[in-house]
Structure 1
Amino acid sequence: MGLPPTQVWTRDQIAARILAGDTLFVLHGNLVRVPQSWLAAHPGGQLSILHFVGRDATDEVEAFHSDETLQRMRGFIIGRVEVDEDGWAPFVPPIANGWIRRIGKDGKMEWYNEATPVKAPEDKDTPAVFEGLLKKSTSEAADSGPTLSMLQTAPNKLSPKNEKLNSDAYKELHKRVVDAGLYKTRFITGYGPEFIRYSLLALLSAVCYRYGWLVPSALFLGLFWQQLTFFAHDLGHVGVTHNWAADRLISIFVADFLGGLSIGWWVNNHNVHHLVPNHPTHDPDIQHLPFFAISPVFLNSLWSSYYKREMTFDAFGKLFVSMQHKLFYVVLSLARFNLYANSYGYLANTAFEPRRFRGGRWWWWAEIACLGLFFVWFGALLRGCGTWRRALVYLLVSHIAASPVHVQIVLSHFSRSTDDLGPAESFFARQLRTTVDVICSPRIEFIHGGLHLQVTHHLFPRLPRHNLREASLIVKEFAKERGLEYAEFGFVEGNGEVRGVLKQVADQLKIVGMVADSEIREAMKS
């Protein structure tokens, strides 16, 4: 491959190209243009790229891509950019203001305004925090598109110099992790004991079912699913064989055939979560209305840029959110059913999309086939229970037994900041600010699948899970040097903190209701 173009692009030129519809981001001082054909084919989904239009995405790109992929990416470089000593001053991606590109009536791509920014309260002293929240747009179509002013960042307290130092620290940190050999998969000492555990749980479930012990069988099946989730997670991050096609094939067998869930949906969802963690408008992993609201901002019926719908805070939402701290474990115990809905909705929505991923659409057909086989074998298990009541018990016990993984996932984020500090915030600082570890003894960390070390996992998503503990020691040292918090708490303490956050939002909802009732009474008196 030849040398990349040497043209130097000015900020005005880049802004003009973005407003014209080009997908551009900065990588190591180079300007990368993503063609529409590749944007639609990106294995990590379009949103993973759209959230970084006009920004320096070097740290994020290197965290999520192999050296081979980074080398191929050089073919999309169209020149270099003007930068100062504090690095590239980012633009605000159009999607942050609710603007996306879509095919118009004439068959050509056009701008569409799907949502509009929520106005900050007028009584704020300074616009120190970039709001970044969106509401559903009231207009059906756009006459023009985003403007130059929309690409400009709002004033905030972040120091460009300090964020540049954070970014430099992350690059050095990443180099140390690579040099330590922590990207090498430990197939024998890492996955060996896990495969034995998977096999034992599956065998115990089968034996118990054979002898008619349905509840123990369902319990072991649920634990089998819970443990298998961690393996599917690694495969989705291309962290096992480090080959996309191989890991995707294995993950389809594990997630779709054995678990009944779409790995394609999970990867699409999870990558966005990693890149914009805890953002109320953009992170699908904290968008759980009507069941949960981890911030009062959700009481305003925000727009979800991932689900492409309004998260309406209606009467049903008010009822559940008012009791969310009490219903926390009940809702999470049935969370697997929501994963089914998201999985099948994703596959339905992508059924008629153009070719995606490498090698065409084989992945979609493979998922459909394996999901069909899942319903064959699991349906046979339920029919074999004898009566519909026993089948229902088997269904509920198996799904509830798999739910501890959902508790662990929400512990890592629900109690952390949901503020958006704008596109200037470094990848390193953003992940540390929005993520927390669960303190766990090495002897029982298999219960958490090793993913209790979420901070380090968020910084190095492709890192094999069994190497996270060693890597976390390096991360903690760097965080301390940079004056950044590396948050961690015990499992019991974490549960208390998360339920405390849920109760705070529920209490605020109660106060809002009391104020509204008082205003109504005053109006009636007058």
Structure 2
Amino acid sequence: MVTSKKYITSEELGKHNKREDLWISIQGKVYNVTEWAKEHPGGDIPLLNLAGQDVTDAFIAFHPGSAWKYLDKFFTGYHLADYEVSDVSKDYRKLAAEFAKAGMFEKKGHIVIYSICFVALLLSACVYGVLASDKFSVHMLSGALLGFTWIQVAYMGHDAGHYQAMSSRGWNKVAGIIIGNCITGISIAWWKWTHNAHHIACNSLDYDPDLQHLPMLAVSDSFFQSLTSKFYNRKLTFDPVAKFFVSYQHLSYYPVMCVARVNLYLQTLLLLCSKRRIPDRALNIIGTIVFWTWFPLLVSCLPNWTERVLFVLVSFCVCAIQHVQFTLNHFAADVYVGPPTGNNWFEKQAGGTIDIACYPWMDWFYGGLQFQLEHHLFPRLPRTHLRSISPIVQDLCKKHNLPYRSLSFFEANVATLKTLKTAAFQARGLLWEAVNTHG
């Protein structure tokens, strides 16, 4: 018996964009994911941000081929009557299929083993320096090693969070807790919550939490209108305090990065104590307690309070290199206000990212994230492949007249400071000095 297809328009699909009525389309087939959003491994934020839209490109980016078979149970029976695919999306999907066929998403190389050995060496050297020496210089070097350990551990956590870095999902979960909560004190649950939202709504001022840093920083004068954060569900008030800090943000930027970890610890605490549904809350809490046991204990082994404070500050300052890197990838890129849209996935990722150019022998230092656009387009792709696909992505951007920005570390710093300085002068009301307004 042949059953004729039932159709709805994109406009009708767009009406199902609420938490209690959440529909999406993938390759023109319409799915009701209202209940699934509560169980979605990536959290409900990505689904809510793209609710009522065709999300094919985003689905391809974040899901392995094995995920397609689970869609049927959510199928509403409807198809999109006006379903169309842009030329850039066609090329993007073709590229993703070629990478999958070549097995690139599964071929991780030996980066996990290398990273574990490197981190173990760094952490051991740090602990040995604290316990086995009474020299001030050795203690400060140990603090620097700890900060560098946190940088490398964060890259490992990033790998585990985006794709199955370990042999199974269970071991991947354990690795995430150990890497994130136990060693760095930053919850892997918090990271997944914010990072998935960042990828979906890359550089949206009101949807991307990675740009919402008031009262300390603002990358655009749009924040002066006291935008409402759709991620945190609260107003980002641009009050006199925020105006003061933002007015001098180009001067305070690096000092703020040196103490950025304090905010991450606070965000972890707030999330774990919140009423939100948190996957593996108990494990995240236990892992965080482990960190706040060994870290203060290690610091207490130093001979006096002066060295203890300086040890922590040195570790934070070294780790600030990574916080700076994360902001260089996005602060000076294109920004916008409003929700992300599913039909311009490639365009939004290209507009909202900046690569950091470096020699191949420096790839370990950046953890693969110097290829920021490549990572945003293919977040499940192991970092070992990002350099090899970079020329292909560049060609695709050139073909469709899309930006591909790759700056040196120095140039990216200059561009970021220029963005912050422009917004700082605007905050002071010195509009005549704010050339090349960003935003």
Q: TM-score, normalised by structure 2?
A: 0.91
SS at match of 2:316: helix
Whether 2:77 is the aligned partner of 1:74: answer no
Contact 2:56 2:342 in 1 (8 A): no
SS at match of 1:349: coil
Contact 1:177 1:471 in 2 (8 A): no
After superposition, the Cα gap between the structure-2 partners of 1:385 and 1:245, relative to the gap in structure 1 and judged at 3 Å, is same
Distance 1:20 1:229 in 2: 32
Distance 1:493 1:23 in 2: 43
After superposition, the Cα gap between the structure-2 partners of 1:187 and 1:394, relative to the gap in structure 1 and judged at 3 Å, is same
Q: State the shift of 1:253 in Å.
A: 0.7
What residue is the counterpart of 1:401 in the other structure? Answer: 318
Distance 1:244 1:303 in 2: 36
Please point out which of 118, 121, 141 is paired with 1:200.
121
User: What are the equivalent positions in structure 2 for 1:81-230 lying under 5 Å apart?
Assistant: 81-84=79-82, 86-87=84-85, 164-188=86-110, 190-210=111-131, 211-212=133-134, 213-230=138-155
Contact 1:9 1:79 in 2 (8 A): no
What residue is the counterpart of 2:306 in the other structure? Answer: 389
What residue is the counterpart of 1:148 in the other structure? Answer: none
What residue is the counterpart of 1:467 in the other structure? Answer: 385
Distance 1:20 1:223 in 2: 41
Contact 1:417 1:433 in 2 (8 A): yes
After superposition, the Cα gap between the structure-2 partners of 1:479 and 1:180, relative to the gap in structure 1 and judged at 3 Å, is farther
SS at match of 2:146: helix
Distance 1:208 1:14 in 2: 61
| CA deviation profile, 1:86-124 (whole Å, cap 9, x unmatched) | 35xxxxxxxxxxxxxxxxxxxxxxxxxxxxxxxxxxxxx
Q: Which has the higher helix share?
A: 2
Distance 2:431 2:105 in 1: 52
Q: Give the number of aligned pairs.
A: 427
- The amino acid that maps onto 1:389 is T
Whether 2:242 is the aligned partner of 1:317: answer yes
Structure 1: gaps of 5 or more residues: 88-163, 358-362, 515-526
Distance 1:165 1:62 in 2: 16
SS at match of 1:297: helix
Q: State the shift of 1:17 in Å.
A: 4.9
What residue is the counterpart of 2:287 in the other structure? Answer: 370
- The amino acid that maps onto 1:175 is A
Distance 1:508 1:209 in 2: 47
SS at match of 1:81: strand
What residue is the counterpart of 1:63 in the other structure? Answer: 61
After superposition, the Cα gap between the structure-2 partners of 1:11 and 1:312, relative to the gap in structure 1 and judged at 3 Å, is closer
What residue is the counterpart of 2:297 in the other structure? Answer: 380
After superposition, the Cα gap between the structure-2 partners of 1:473 and 1:239, relative to the gap in structure 1 and judged at 3 Å, is farther
Please point out which of 338, 353, 357 is paired with 1:439.
357
After superposition, the Cα gap between the structure-2 partners of 1:217 and 1:85, relative to the gap in structure 1 and judged at 3 Å, is closer
Distance 1:13 1:84 in 2: 11
Q: State the shift of 1:187 in Å.
A: 4.0
Contact 2:23 2:34 in 1 (8 A): no
Structure 2: gaps of 5 or more residues: 433-439
SS at match of 2:360: coil
Distance 2:171 2:39 in 1: 18
Q: TM-score, normalised by structure 1?
A: 0.77
| CA deviation profile, 1:454-486 (whole Å, cap 9, x unmatched) | 000000111111111112222112222222221
Q: 286-295 or 237-246: which moved more?
A: 237-246
What residue is the counterpart of 1:23 in the other structure? Answer: 22
Please point out which of 176, 182, 185 is paired with 1:260.
185
What residue is the counterpart of 1:151 in the other structure? Answer: none
Whether 2:405 is the aligned partner of 1:484: answer no
Contact 1:260 1:371 in 2 (8 A): yes
Distance 1:473 1:490 in 2: 17
Q: State the shift of 1:50 in Å.
A: 0.8
Distance 1:259 1:29 in 2: 43
- The amino acid that maps onto 1:68 is S
RMSD: 2.4
- The amino acid that maps onto 1:431 is Q
- The amino acid that maps onto 2:346 is F
Q: Percent identity?
A: 30
Q: State the shift of 1:199 in Å.
A: 2.0
SS at match of 2:271: helix
